């Protein structure tokens, strides 16, 4: 069923054959039709034979050097011309909207909430070509299917058939609310009585961080696995425990005193990339966004560790 409740009719003949007939009927010439369709005259003739065989009657006949439509052909041709014209108009409208409308960008919720949002006050929304439609998803949206024009993804920069521009490499460290870890009690002793909130995607990162920690691995009172780094950061900001998260993502929270880097030890684990299809490579809206993102990254917030 279609969206308006009407039953979709199955096309009883090949679409390519209908297109070949429509063009040939307009030109009344196999050669001119082939030129418009960028195929050979024999390919057009082959499609016409397929169509007439499927219908069971002739649509056009040769008259000397040209073509003449049959009665059936004269009835079908204008309907096809109108139909293909409407298709071309719809596609053209969609292309203009995609090329001239806001740039649609998908990203992880954690990136949007903790890195992008604190910097949006600096974004030139008033400038022509800088309009945005932002969406968040825990999953990689299908750019090839038109789900978005571009995406900001975390990984190693390898996504099939897509360009990936590195915005910044990510390092992870142990973060907590500074008021919970003031000078006094030894940090390791305090951590042994503290809960660790860990994103399900950070398990390996935490193992790598803890195994290489100078002085040996830390022990915590317990570990709560959550479905996103954003939720783990929120728990740490609220003082419920500590988390292992991207220091670059948390820069604004650290600068505002909502979080502190509890230990200087950190490990690198991938990076954040601006990802887009080949057709977007020269898009001025994408170039504007990329330049702004890189400029914002070039002026990071200061990140300091509290006294140990």
Positions in the chain whose pLDDT score sits under 70: 1-11, 65, 91-100, 182-185, 300-308
Q: What is the pLDDT of residue 92?
A: 63
Q: What is the pLDDT of residue 147?
A: 87
For 116, 214, 293, the CA distances from 122, given in Å and listed in that order, are: 10, 39, 10
Q: Is the dihedral of CA 26, 30, 35, 39 positive or negative?
A: positive
Q: What is the pLDDT of residue 95?
A: 62
**List of residues 6+ apart from 215 with CB closer than 8 A:** 188
Q: What is the pLDDT of residue 303?
A: 43
What domains lie within the chain, and their CATH numbers? 15-100 (1.10.10.10), 102-308 (3.40.190.290)
- Report the C-alpha gap between 198 and 226 in whole angstroms: 6
Is 297:168 a contact under the CB 8 Å cutoff? yes
For 30, 80, 90, 107, 282, the CA distances from 42, given in Å and listed in that order, are: 8, 22, 30, 49, 37
pTM (2 d.p.) = 0.68
157: nearest Cα among 271, 36, 13: 271
117: nearest Cα among 229, 236, 251: 251
Is 167:289 a contact under the CB 8 Å cutoff? no
The pLDDT tens digits for 58-105 are 999 888 767 889 999 899 999 998 888 888 777 666 666 565 679 999
- Report the C-alpha gap between 144 and 183 in whole angstroms: 52
Q: What is the pLDDT of residue 247?
A: 96
The pLDDT tens digits for 129-150 are 789 999 999 889 998 888 899 9
């Amino acid at each position: 069923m279609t969206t308006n409740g009407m039953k979709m009719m199955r096309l009883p003949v090949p679409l390519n054959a209908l297109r070949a007939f429509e063009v040939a009927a307009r030109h009344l010439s196999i050669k001119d039709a082939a030129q418009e369709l960028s195929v050979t005259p024999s390919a057009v003739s082959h499609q016409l034979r397929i169509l007439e065989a499927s219908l069971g009657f002739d649509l056009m006949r040769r008259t000397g050097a040209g073509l003449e439509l049959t009665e059936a052909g004269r009835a079908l041709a204008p309907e096809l011309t109108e139909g293909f014209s409407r298709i071309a108009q719809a596609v053209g409208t969609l292309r203009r909207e995609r090329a001239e409308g806001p740039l649609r960008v998908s990203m992880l919720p954690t990136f949007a909430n903790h890195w992008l949002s604190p910097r949006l006050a600096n974004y030139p929304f008033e400038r022509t070509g800088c309009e945005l439609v932002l969406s968040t998803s825990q999953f990689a949206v299908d750019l090839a299917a038109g789900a978005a024009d571009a995406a900001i993804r975390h990984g190693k920069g390898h996504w099939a058939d897509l360009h990936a521009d590195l915005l910044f490499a990510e390092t992870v460290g142990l973060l907590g609310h500074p008021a919970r870890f003031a000078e006094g009690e030894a940090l390791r002793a305090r951590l042994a009585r503290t809960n660790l909130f860990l994103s399900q995607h950070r398990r390996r990162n935490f193992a790598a961080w803890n195994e290489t920690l100078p002085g040996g691995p830390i022990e915590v009172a317990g570990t709560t696995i959550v479905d996103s780094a954003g939720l783990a950061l929120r728990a740490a900001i609220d003082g419920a425990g500590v988390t292992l998260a991207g220091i670059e993502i948390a820069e604004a929270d650290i600068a505002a005193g909502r979080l502190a880097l509890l230990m200087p030890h950190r490990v690198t684990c991938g990076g954040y990339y601006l990802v887009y299809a080949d057709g977007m490579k020269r898009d001025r809206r994408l170039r504007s966004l990329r330049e702004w993102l890189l400029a914002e990254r070039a002026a990071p917030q200061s990140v300091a560790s509290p006294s140990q």
